[in-house]
Amino acid sequence: MSQRDQFISDLENFLEDQKEEGVQTLDISPETLVALKASTQKADQKPAAKPASPRPASSAAPPQSTVNVSGKTLEEIAGQIRVCSACPLCNSRKNTVPGEGNANRPDIMFIGEGPGADEDAQGRPFVGAAGQLLDKMIKAMGYQREEVFIANIVKCRPPGNRVPLPAEMDACLPWLRAQTALIQPKIIVALGKTAVQGLLHEEVAITRFRGTWCTYEGINLMPTYHPAYLLRSPGKKGEAWADLKAVLNNLGKEPPIKKG
């Protein structure tokens, strides 16, 4: 990776972390803006190596969801999701990602933001690097992945892994609401600021809001960090573990004792 690409990657991670922590605006000095503009113009003069990423889909989504859930089982709902075109995310998806796991009143339902590239390719939630960390978190709590249910707020990948727009989350929410009503998890763990925002319609700073019990559709909900954020900020893993231990405590369980 060139120095410039590394810088852009670091900058993207920094901005994502800021967003995760609830920062809405950044103070940038006029001098920095001039330097950034000069740098962009310089880059524009170079021959393009490959086409630019697609622009995010339009935010002109319907103000209310047009989704009509008629499926009576998770399989029927997944079939409906597969042909859903209720928001612009349908245009760029390879596969829909309805969610998977124990659908018979599991102790925990994890809800993340939306599918990434790996999930879009496989049609399964949390199968990339963040998914591997989520698997470790689930195991540390004393569960197997198949014993919990894992889903996302939106069922189709936002282009370029951008954060789903509020209108897209609103459009998609009836699917998740119907799934939750069928699955009846004992506790929901919302992974990251966007999941909290999509479920509760609250703008929160996850660094302050995590660990605070809430309810969604009458079900206890624990907000904590998204595993992707924990991969970028491993120093926050202790706080996430405290949230997961609070979940276990609420279920009347203890984390398994480590052998050796």
Binding site for ligand SF4 (CB under 6 A): 67, 81, 84-87, 89-90, 96, 154-156, 168, 171-172
Q: Which is nearer to ligand SF4, 77 or 244 (CB)?
A: 77
CA 161 to chain centre: 10
Task: From residue 220, give the alpha-carbon distance in Å to each of 104, 214, 229, 249.
Answer: 17, 6, 23, 13
The nearest distance, CB 167 to ligand SF4, in angstroms, is 10
State how far the Cα of 109 lies from the Cα of 130, in Å rounded to an integer: 16
The nearest distance, CB 189 to ligand SF4, in angstroms, is 21
Q: Which is nearer to ligand SF4, 165 or 248 (CB)?
A: 165
The nearest distance, CB 134 to ligand SF4, in angstroms, is 20
State how far the Cα of 183 lies from the Cα of 108, in Å rounded to an integer: 10
The nearest distance, CB 153 to ligand SF4, in angstroms, is 9
Q: Which is nearer to ligand SF4, 155 or 193 (CB)?
A: 155
Q: Which is nearer to ligand SF4, 89 or 137 (CB)?
A: 89
- Tokens matching residue 82: 């597969």
Q: Which is nearer to ligand SF4, 80 or 224 (CB)?
A: 80
Contacts of 11 (CB under 8 A, 6+ apart): none
The nearest distance, CB 234 to ligand SF4, in angstroms, is 30
Strand 108-112 with 219-224, pairing: unpaired
- Tokens matching residue 7: 């810088």
